[in-house]
A and B are shown apart, each in its own frame.
Chain A
Amino acid sequence: EPEVTQTPSHQVTQMGQEVILRCVPISNHLYFYWYRQILGQKVEFLVSFYNNEISEKSEIFDDQFSVERPDGSNFTLKIRSTKLEDSAMYFCASERSVAKNIQYFGAGTRLSVL
C-alpha cells in the first residue's frame, strides 16, 4: 500500500541553524500538508499546499518557515533559523482529492533543537 515517507526520522540541530524536513507524498496525491506536535500536546496545522503554492497557513507558520515542492515528488519544510521552541514532531500529510477528505500521514520527523 502506498505511504507517505518522511526523512530523516530524527533531526538534531543547534539553535539558529537551518533545517529541511523532507517528505515524499503518495504519488498521485495533489494536496500536501505539514503539521507539528510538540511533545505531550496536540497536533497543530502549519500549512497546506496545492498547485505549487500555499493554500492556507496558520499563525505558527511565520517567516521562518517555508515549503517547497522542488521536483514534483518531494515536499519540503524549511525552518531558516531554528529556535528551541521549534522542537517537535513534524508530520507531513497528503491527499488525493479534497472530495475524499482523507489525509494520509507520514511517520513524522522528530526535530530536536539544542
Chain B
Amino acid sequence: AQTVTQSQPEMSVQEAETVTLSCTYDTSESDYYLFWYKQPPSRQMILVIRQEAYKQQNATENRFSVNFQKAAKSFSLKISDSQLGDAAMYFCAYRGGPTSGTYKYIFGTGTRLKVLA
C-alpha cells in the first residue's frame, strides 16, 4: 500500500525568507500524482501545487516550487519570499495513476509552518 511521510511536524521561517518542507512516499507504481495542500486556521484545504510523476520538470506556482526526485521518492515544497499568510498546515498527498483503479488521495501527517515577522 502507498504511504506518505512528512517528517517535520513543525517548521518556522522568517518573513521574506525561504523554507523547504519535506515529503517522502512509497509506491510501486510508475505513474502517479503528488500534491501539496495548505490548510490555514479556517481549515479549508487549498491546493498549492501539483506534480505529475511522468513529468521530469518540477512544478512551480509563483513563490511555490517543488523538488521532485522520483528515484528517491521525494517531493519537497519550497516556499520563497515567505509571507505571513503562508502560515498554515501543509499536507503532502499522493494519488495513483490512471491504471491504479483508485482516485483517492493519501495524505501525510502534515507540517505546521509558522512565519515569523
In contact, A48 and B95 (Cβ under 8 angstroms): no
Chain B contact residue count (CB 8 A cutoff): 22
Chain B window 60-91, contacts with chain A (Cβ cutoff 8 Å), 1 for yes, 0 for no: 00000000000000000000000000000001
Interface residues of A, dominant DSSP: strand
In contact, B43 and A48 (Cβ under 8 angstroms): no
Asked whether A18 is an interface residue with its Cβ less than 8 Å from the other chain, the reply is no
Contacts of A44 in B (CB 8 A): 107
Interface residues of B (CB under 8 A from A): 33, 37, 42-47, 50, 52, 91, 95, 98, 102-110
Given A42-B91, A43-B91, A108-B44, residue A101 in contact with residue B107 (CB < 8 A): no
Pick the 7 closest A-B CB pairs, nearest first. A105-B45, A45-B104, A43-B107, A107-B44, A42-B109, A101-B33, A42-B107
Instruction: Give CA–CA (A110, B43) in the complex, Å.
Output: 10
Contacts of B108 in A (CB 8 A): 42
Interface residues of A (CB under 8 A from B): 31, 33, 35, 41-45, 48, 55-56, 58, 89, 91, 93, 95, 98-99, 101-108, 110
Given A42-B108, A42-B109, residue A98 in contact with residue B103 (CB < 8 A): yes
A-B contacts at CB below 8 angstroms, number: 52
Contacts of B45 in A (CB 8 A): 43, 91, 93, 105, 108
Q: Which residue of A lies closest to B45 (CB)?
A: A105
Q: Which residue of B lies closest to A89 (CB)?
A: B43
Instruction: Give CA–CA (A102, B35) in the complex, Å.
Output: 9
Q: Which residue of B lies closest to A95 (CB)?
A: B103
| Cross-chain pairs A/B with CB under 8 angstroms, 7 sampled | A33-B104, A56-B102, A56-B103, A56-B104, A93-B45, A95-B103, A107-B44
Contacts of B109 in A (CB 8 A): 41-42
